[in-house]
Amino acid sequence: MTYNLIFEEVKKITLEVGAFIRSERKNFNSDKIEYKGLNDLVSYVDKTAEQRIVAGLKDIIADAGFVTEEKTINKTGERFNWIIDPLDGTTNFIHGIPTYSISIALKENDELVLGVVYEINMDELFYTWKGEKSYLNGAIISVSKNRTLGESLLATGFPYYDFEKAEKYMKVFSELIQQTHGLRRLGSAAVDLAYVACGRFEGYFEYNLNPWDVAAGALIVKNAGGTITNFLGGEEFLDAREIVAGNGYSGAEMLKVIVKHF
């Protein structure tokens, strides 16, 4: 099966599960919240969404493995592995803040070959696959062409359980807010990356991340003409627990500030 045909099947699953998440939010009760760790929230919505995604993806590539946030399945594939965040932005979802998404990526051997991010409340489906451009609801997207920090809007995420690098982060934050149109913290890494890909943000950086937070969005950024690195400018990001996404211009200037402090 070709990547574009795989995408069409993933799209169906994503939209169906997105509709489920949207529906459950209407009657969601805070009594249903569970804690996986300090400020690390989850609910039956995350778990059920993941189970539905996994069940659907099993029918596409029977022998594929899974890397999932809620660990509802334990299987490693020899060639293909899905990387899934069923509800990226759980804290937003629980508090009724309308920025959360589904993130699904496919890894073939050591290469990301497909990425889908669905921003549920905006009904925006971002996607790409190997050898293809990046899209938003069928239209080709590309990163911003703004060349300087002075004309850039950036995104980030704040530490919420591992504060070891908080002091360094605040130095980066302080410097960048003085040189840009501002920094935004939306609460969904997958959405932040998708917004870099379509030019809404010129750059995005964050640490304390997992592969399921960034896999799909990173490929979408790359295929939209952007750059992805870790905090030191290296290519490894998926397991580095940190990421810098940029447009190649002002994003590179943002990276210089981060490298200086980290």
Alpha-carbon distance of 107 to 175, in angstroms, equals 36
Q: Which of 76, 25, 75 is nearest to 46 (CA)?
A: 25
| Residue 255 is assigned to a ligand binding site | no
Q: Dig out the tokens for 47 from the structure.
A: 């778990």
Q: Can you tell me whether residue 62 is helix, strand or coil? A: coil
CA distance 151 to 128: 27
Cβ proximity of 83 and 62 under 8 Å: no
Which residue from 208, 214, 162 is spatially nearest to 188, judged by alpha carbons? 214
Question: Cβ–Cβ contacts within 10 Å for residue 134, how many?
Answer: 24
Q: Following DSSP, what letter does each residue of 188-242 receive, concatenated?
A: -HHHHHHHHHTTS-SEEEEES--HHHHHHHHHHHHHTT-EEE-TTS-S--TTTTE
3-state secondary structure of 247: coil
Is 162 part of any known ligand binding site? no
88 annotated ligand binder = yes
Helix %, strand %, coil % of the chain (to 5): 35, 25, 35
181-190: buried (b, 16+ CB within 10 Å) or exposed (e) per residue?
Answer: eebeebbbbb
123 assigned binding-site residue: no
With 0-12 / 13-18 / 19 or more C-beta atoms within 10 angstroms meaning exposed / middle / buried, residue 56 is: middle
213 is in an annotated binding site: yes
Binding residues: 69, 85, 87-88, 213
Instruction: State the binding site for Mg(2+).
Output: 69, 85, 87-88, 213
